[in-house]
Amino acid sequence: MAENKFWKLLRKGETTDLKLFKGRFDFYLNKRTGKEERMIVMHSRDAANVLAITKEGKIVMVRQFRFGIEEDTIEVPGGLVEKGEDPMIAAQRELLEETGYSGGEWSSLGYIHSNPVYMRGMIHQYLAVGVEKTDAQELDAGENIEVLEIDPEELKVFYKNESLRHPHTMTCVSKVFDLYEKVKL
Tell me how far the alpha carbon of residue 161 is from its chain's centroid. Answer: 21
Cβ distance 109 to 145 under 8 Å? no
Q: Set out the domains of the chain in order of their start, with CATH numbers.
A: 7-43 (no CATH), 47-174 (3.90.79.10)
Kindly indicate the confidence band of residue 76, based on its pLDDT and cuts at 50, 70 and 90: very high
Longest dimension (CA), the chain: 60
Q: What is the pLDDT of residue 101?
A: 98
Mean pLDDT, range 56-60, rounded to an integer: 97
In this model, does residue 99 exceed pLDDT 90?
yes
- 178 or 22, greater pLDDT: 22
pLDDT digits (tens, 9 = 90+) for 107-127: 999 999 998 888 889 999 999
At 177, the pLDDT band (50, 70, 90 cuts) reads confident
Kindly tell me if the per-residue pLDDT of 2 is higher than 80: no
Does residue 82 have a pLDDT over 60?
yes
Query: What pLDDT does residue 131 have?
Result: 98
Predicted confidence at residue 181, as pLDDT, reads: 63
The pLDDT mean for the chain works out to 92
Q: How far is CA 11 from the centre of its chain?
A: 30
State the pLDDT at residue 3: 75
Share of the chain above pLDDT 70, in %: 95
Q: What pTM does this model have?
A: 0.87
- Compute the distance between CA of residue 127 and CA of residue 26 in angstroms, rounded to an integer: 36
Amino acid at 137: Q
d(CA 34, CA 158): 47
